[in-house]
Structure 1
Amino acid sequence: MQGRESRGARSRRATHAGSWYSNHGADLSRQLENWLSKADLCHGPARAIIAPHAGYSYCGACAAFAYRQVSPAVVKRIFILGPSHHVRLSGCALSEAQKYETPIYDLKIDSEIYSQLEATGEFEWMDKRTDEDEHSIEMHLPYIAKVMEEYKNQFTIIPILVGSLTSDKEAMYGRILTSYLGDPQNLFVVSSDFCHWGVRFNYTHYEKRCGQIHQSIENLDKQGMDLIESLSPQAFTEYLNKYRNTICGRHPISVLLQACAPLARSRQCSLKFLRYAQSTQCRTMDDSSVSYASASLVID
């Protein structure tokens, strides 16, 4: 992490292309188009989406259900909130880059919005290594590029790396972002996988009344998803405190819920989960899996 004065890298490379997803633009574009064509537009236009960030072979089809709800003609700015996997961060951080590369085309960072966020005094700056090591934001960039392809010179992105926030900080960042969420020209992309289950994740919660282990995992995840749909940040926090579910994007999700709370008092807000999947179906305590879910938030 660093201060504003050491910014200067013009471009953040697509460091996970070729391993987590195709590094061939045409092939990647066709793959994303195929997944999007199989997803229904049923809860849009999205003001915010929640979507996974694993390798596309695991979660690409699931993520399509969130991105299908986006109305690209309306969107001018895209905020991307991704959890920090590799560095300890007690707040949120911005990128030092001016653009993010993808195999499809490059995405320009919104320097004006970054200046506004910096002026709050509540944001740090990522160094280049931290930025390029992190996958939670990058995994959304090709989908953004694909969905926005017809308008590729008419929008900007605002990547935000979210650390391990206290409830008070989640509320504070929510307050900062509320006005941006309220603008129909802005889209929020919240990056999160759901339960990481198994010994290798140090999490083996299992309720036998649910049936097989994978059914218990699904029940646990869907309890959390129901609370997220209720738009209650307090209820979601209580759920996390009770079950310790290993939802890696729990802090970005909580920031979104906090940002939505003031809007929900005067406007119709509806968040709906559209797809759920698991990398594998666990049946023994030696198995492991990661869950994925896609959701869309509509504000009338």
Structure 2
Amino acid sequence: MPVRRATHAGSWYSDSASELSRQLDYWLNQADLSHGPARAIIAPHAGYQYCGECSGFAYRQISPVVVRTIFILGPSHHVRLAGCALSSAKKYKTPLYDLHIDMAINTELEKTGQFEEMDMDTDENEHSIEMHLPYVAKVMENYKNQFSIVPILVGSLSPDREACYGRILAPYLADPKNLFIISSDFCHWGHRFRYTHYDQSCGNIHQSIEQLDRVGMNIIENLNATEFTNYLKKFGNTICGRHPIGVLLQAIQELLRNDSSQNASLKFLKYAQSSQCRNMNDSSVSYAAAALVID
């Protein structure tokens, strides 16, 4: 049985099950259940010392008693993909316990002809999906034998391709037993990221960054895929999960087109930065947590 190792355990997050469990419990308890039960969440994928607290606000909105299949859409950082790729593993290891792939849904998605297969090296080098697995394991620990996951690595998609994957995934989003996790950090600012947009009217650099991120977050909350694409073109904001977010927005639009009785509400619940930039030699990464409710 092909098993994907927890390659970032011991560096990006603790490889001690007891320490990791205590840490995740603490962050989850810091957050309120204010916008749930979530059908989808947006949460970051950096080292837990930077974004673990922020992620807790998204994961707190999940109702584990309902969820049976969890789709995790993460951007590809290391390989160029024209589309999306499915894992070749059968299960993913975490320090808490192993998570099993939903092979039936993988087969359904493969039959669309729109998905590649990740080789194990690509899978294990990538962190955008892995960083969500300990949180998934923690939130679902009382149902550990009753759920499965569908990891999807998302490449650099055109708006038309985002719409294509949105149409494919919309029926799964429509099912309350399914949860979508969208893996994304927000602005990567500084010379090392080759991005130094600064609107001095906002005040300090970190305030300009937050204002830029919040413009994008407001567009996402409005569920407007086209406007989000235009925003990215205008400002070039380095949101690394922009394509997974685009796929989610397209899936929501498709779902609402197919069933006008449904209501969708997406809200951002937490925003943070790895550090506060005050001069042009500084750098930071922004993090945001959001939850989508459909009723």
Report if TM-score (shorter chain) is over 0.5.
Answer: yes
Determine the structure 2 residue equivalent to 1:6: none
- SS of the residue 1:45 aligns to: coil
Paired amino acid for 2:271: Y
AA matched with 1:225: M
What's the TM-score, normalizing by structure 1?
A: 0.97
- Runs of 4+ in structure 1 over 3 Å off: none
Q: Indicate whether 1:185 and 2:177 are aligned.
A: yes
CA distance in 2, matches of 1:77, 1:262: 20
Write out per-residue CA displacement over residues 189-213 of structure 1, whole angstroms, 9 at most, x where no aligned residue: 0000000000000000000000000
Q: Structure 2 residue aligned with 1:140, among 129, 132, 138?
A: 132
Aligned to 2:266: 271
**Is residue 282 of structure 2 the alignment partner of residue 287 of structure 1?**
yes
Unmatched runs of 5 consecutive residues or more in structure 2: none
* Alignment partner, residue 299 of structure 1: 294
Distance 2:38 2:265 in 1: 10
In the superposition, the TM-score normalised over structure 2's length comes to: 0.98
How many positions carry a matched residue from both structures? Answer: 292
The correspondence for 2:116, drawn from 108, 120, 124, is 124
Distance 2:230 2:6 in 1: 37
Deviations 1:59-108 (A, max 9, x none): 00000000000000000000000000000111000010000000000000
Shift of 1:262: 2.3
1:232 aligns with 2:224: yes
How far apart in 2 are the matches of 1:10 and 1:133? Answer: 16
Tell me how far apart the structure 1 counterparts of residues 265 and 160 of structure 2 sit (CA, whole Å). Answer: 24
1:108-119 matches, cutoff 5 A: 108-119=100-111
Correspondence for 1:36: 28
Measured in 2, the distance between the counterparts of 1:89 and 1:129 equals 15
Do 2:54 and 2:289's aligned partners in 1 also have CA atoms closer than 8 Å? yes
Q: Matched residues in 1 for 2:46 and 2:9: separation?
A: 12
Q: Identify which of 213, 225, 237 aligns with 1:221.
A: 213
Question: Do residues 247 (structure 1) and 247 (structure 2) align?
Answer: no
Offset of residue 117 of structure 1: 0.1
CA drift of 1:10 comes to 1.5
1:230 counterpart letter in structure 2: N
SS in 1 for 2:41: strand
Q: Tell me how far apart the structure 1 counterparts of residues 231 and 120 of structure 2 sit (CA, whole Å).
A: 35
| CA distance, structure 2, for counterparts of residue 88 and residue 115 of structure 1 | 23
The two structures, once aligned, show a CA RMSD in angstroms of: 0.5
Structure 2 residue matching 1:72: 3-state secondary structure: coil
CA distance in structure 1 between the partners assigned to 2:166 and 2:256 by the alignment: 13
Q: Does 1:66 align with 2:61?
A: no
Q: Which residues of 2 match residues 159-198 of structure 1 at below 5 A?
A: 159-198=151-190
Partner SS, residue 255 of structure 1: helix
1:22 alignment counterpart: 14
